[in-house]
Structure 1
């Protein structure tokens, strides 16, 4: 699987763990810190801990994209729900996230899922809406110290390939 000559997408391997977590946490620091309060940023990092990444890989599929040996994109699929889609901020807006989402949706479709669901963060709302995801619920989580994490639940009907 690949998206360009240099970028290769493959299934997560345990040896990817440190680089994958670093990609996710760096992206959270860069893309979320100016939109969310500090406790929410920490919540996101805890949600994407080493243990949670490994659990997602065991329960479903975690894809990573590498460019010259550096992980630049990732996304997970567990029971029809897409999690942890991150593209390094320096690599955004060139189609990597869209290509990865297409692969995750294909995996969901192949496993018999007819509707994909995901949680949408503030910085990713426009991206997911552009891919056809419909916001179905506004959510807010108290993360302590009077701070909250605002997000949405979204869904998208996955039509068969020949539709």
Structure 2
């Protein structure tokens, strides 16, 4: 198992990992239109935009890419771990790398958006919710999430 930087030829595999994780982990937590919103928000094009704008990391094992995450400045996004690999420490590995990147870029606070299924993970890492957010996705459905921050400075 190894963590490395994103390469252009990773786009399709990273996108497939994200979509599979959304399907497995978000469908029980969100209404259908919110799940569709997540799928579109994390499109193949979005993967490419994140890679062009900042730092994207991936974790590979013998089966391929099992985790990913991105950072632009102090904003962390697109952190996904394959459902079968969740709880194994891979997400912490990705976050450690991204938080180190936040510090290396000169920022003392990391910021991210937290989905319903991932709140416990981020709170255990020291993130504090600073705002409740909701997006109306139509049909009387909404996507609820939180903005969270973590102080990385001494």
Query: TM-score scaled to structure 2, two decimals?
Result: 0.98
Equivalent residue for 2:130, pick from 132, 136, 143: 136
Q: Which runs of 5+ in 1 are unaligned?
A: 1-6
Secondary structure of the residue that 2:118 maps to in structure 1? helix
Distance in 2 (CA, whole Å) between partners of 1:121 and 1:77 is: 17
Q: Deviating runs (4+, > 2 A) in structure 1?
A: none
* Cα displacement (A) at 1:69: 4.8
- Root-mean-square deviation (CA, aligned residues, Å) is 0.8
* Cα displacement (A) at 1:118: 0.2
* Cα displacement (A) at 1:83: 0.2
- Give yes or no for the alignment of 1:107 onto 2:101: yes
Aligned residues: 154
What residue number does 2:52 align with?
58
Distance in 2 (CA, whole Å) between partners of 1:49 and 1:123 is: 20
Give the 5 Å matches for 1:57-76. Answer: 57-76=51-70
Distance in 1 (CA, whole Å) between partners of 2:63 and 2:54 is: 24
Distance in 1 (CA, whole Å) between partners of 2:89 and 2:59 is: 12
Distance in 2 (CA, whole Å) between partners of 1:128 and 1:16 is: 26
